Amino acid sequence: MIKKALFFLFFALPFFSVLAQNTIKKPNILFIVADDWSKHAGIYGDKVVRTPNIDRLGKNGLIFDQAFCSAASCSPSRASILTGKHPHQIAEGGNLWGSLPVSIPNFVSLIEASGGFVGSERKGWGPGNFKIGGYQDNPAGKNFKNFEEFLGEKPKDKPFFYWFGSMDPHRDYVKGTGEQAGLDPQKVKVPGFLPDTDVVRKDILDYYFEVERFDSNVGKLIATLESKGELENTLIVITSDNGMPFPRAKATCYDSGTNIPLIMHWQGKIKPARSSELISLIDLAPTVLDVMGIQKPIDLPSKSLINLINGRPIAHRNAVFVERERHANVRKGNLGFPIRGIRTKDFLYLRNFEPNRFPAGDPQKWVAVGPYGDIDDSPSKQLLMADTLTYDFFVSRTLKKRGAEELYDLKKDPDQLYNLANEKRYAQQKNKLKKDLEAWMKQTKDPRAANPNTNLWDQYPYY
């Protein structure tokens, strides 16, 4: 009898163990990306915009207060998210309206190659020409009409990755929609980099209207997950490609352009928490691959957040790095405004490689958008251009040229309005940050490390 029992334990239990492993469901990922959204949500302390669905996920998930996109421009930011690399490491992917080489692994392709079912809706990677880069479908996944259609086609035994790329709150806005939705302009907290006027307040309300529409779509996605019984087995990631489409925000390397929302929710897996760790959105690629149990490329400069997801506090980064090359085609000769920057918890240091160019684009329309075309057209922008004397403080920080170096003390100047790069009392801090930035550029094989004034990105096509 004892011999029979030992036989069963030795030979049969491994079989049942393998059977149990094979029946464990692999996790899914719902990846939700807003278009031009800064940290405006109830969960981030905004008392005007109404975001009940995002707030629900945040209150029961992991909220990141210090998450930064790699570049405050749609295409390079999304390329960095997908590849886990800095924009300068992905060739034409470092520009807006460029391409993304298929030779650089992206996590959606790796998930699909590992047997996962992948798809996207609305705005994936872009804008740009992904077919020139060698892709048949958008790098964020084959496009589907909606989440229900995607889940209806998903094989029963496959985990899924679904990218929902909202078009909100990208401009253009319908003027007055914010007020018509019941939002009060007098309650708006105008950021320090914009003039506090009725025009700006109402412009922000119209932006809020589209943030609320984005939140409504988040609610529909959650409801679909719940109806399919997949909520508990799905990691939900909510973020944005870059900051709000206002002067001195989107397409800049200031916090207003790069410090964006990041929320992770996984019912029963992630405990409610708030993190002040410095996070780069390039860290999402290795995180997603770790969650789905897929081997990561060995050359990634990004760092997985899997320990934070599992509730293990870690010292993640001492600094994040931000950059930009060419945004829109808004300078004579299709030139960009190249920047590299380092952002610690105390300081932001920026190096502007072409200070003789206008940071927001030429004052006269070149090809795209209009005068100062790296700033999306808006009532706020028109206000600054129409009365440059009255709003000189803001005009000098949005439309006019800047020095080769910028340094901001984040504790004293959180809106980053007073450049301290030439202040002797900050020389030590500036020199250290400059040295750290140059070391990072060299380590990551940035072409500007060897040739600061290279025209590499200016020569790439604008598709």
- Name residue 246's amino acid: F
Residues in the chain: 463
In sequence order, the 6+-apart residues with CB closer than 8 A to the CB of 401 are: 355, 356, 357, 358, 359
* Residue that the structure tokens 């006027």 belong to: 197
Superfamily classification of domain 26-317: Alkaline Phosphatase, subunit A (3.40.720.10)
pLDDT, tens digit only, all 463 positions of the chain: 444 444 444 444 443 333 333 446 799 999 999 999 999 999 999 999 999 999 999 999 999 999 999 999 999 999 999 999 999 999 999 999 999 999 999 999 999 999 999 999 999 999 999 999 999 999 999 999 999 999 999 999 999 999 999 999 999 999 999 999 999 999 999 999 999 999 999 999 999 999 999 999 999 999 999 999 999 999 999 999 999 999 999 999 999 999 999 999 999 999 999 999 999 999 999 999 999 999 999 989 999 999 999 988 777 899 999 999 999 999 999 999 999 999 999 999 999 999 999 999 999 999 989 999 999 999 999 999 999 999 999 999 999 999 999 999 999 999 999 999 999 999 999 999 999 999 999 999 999 999 999 999 999 999 9
397 and 417 Cβ atoms separated by less than 8 Å:
yes
Q: DSSP string of 291-355?
A: HTT-PPPTT------HHHHTT------S-EEEEE---SS-STTT----EEEEE-SSEEEEEES-T
CA angle 296, 301, 305 (to 5 degrees): 65
* Residue that the structure tokens 């790796």 belong to: 110
Strand-pair category, 62-64 with 273-275: parallel
Distance CA 10, CA 4 (A): 10
Distance CA 258, CA 348 (A): 12
Per the structure block, which two tokens stand in for 147? 């989440």
The residue extents of the domains of the chain are: 26-317, 322-458
* pLDDT score for 319: 97
DSSP single-letter state for residue 160: E
Q: How many CB atoms lie within 10 A of CB 247?
A: 30
Provide the edge-to-edge strand list for the sheet that holds 262-265: 117-122, 160-165, 28-34, 234-240, 262-265, 62-64, 273-275
Q: 3-state DSSP call for residue 115? A: coil
DSSP single-letter state for residue 276: -
Q: Which residues pair with 160 in a beta bridge?
A: 117
* pLDDT score for 24: 64
443 and 85 Cβ atoms separated by less than 8 Å:
no
Residue of 387, 332, 341, 409 whose CA lies nearest to 363: 332
Angle, helices 52-59 vs 198-227, to 10°: value is 60
Residue of 46, 41, 123 whose CA lies nearest to 77: 123
Strand-pair category, 160-165 with 28-34: parallel
Distance CA 359, CA 341 (A): 15
Distance CA 202, CA 206 (A): 6
CA-based torsion, 157, 159, 165, 166: positive or negative: positive
219 and 12 Cβ atoms separated by less than 8 Å:
no
Distance CA 73, CA 243 (A): 9
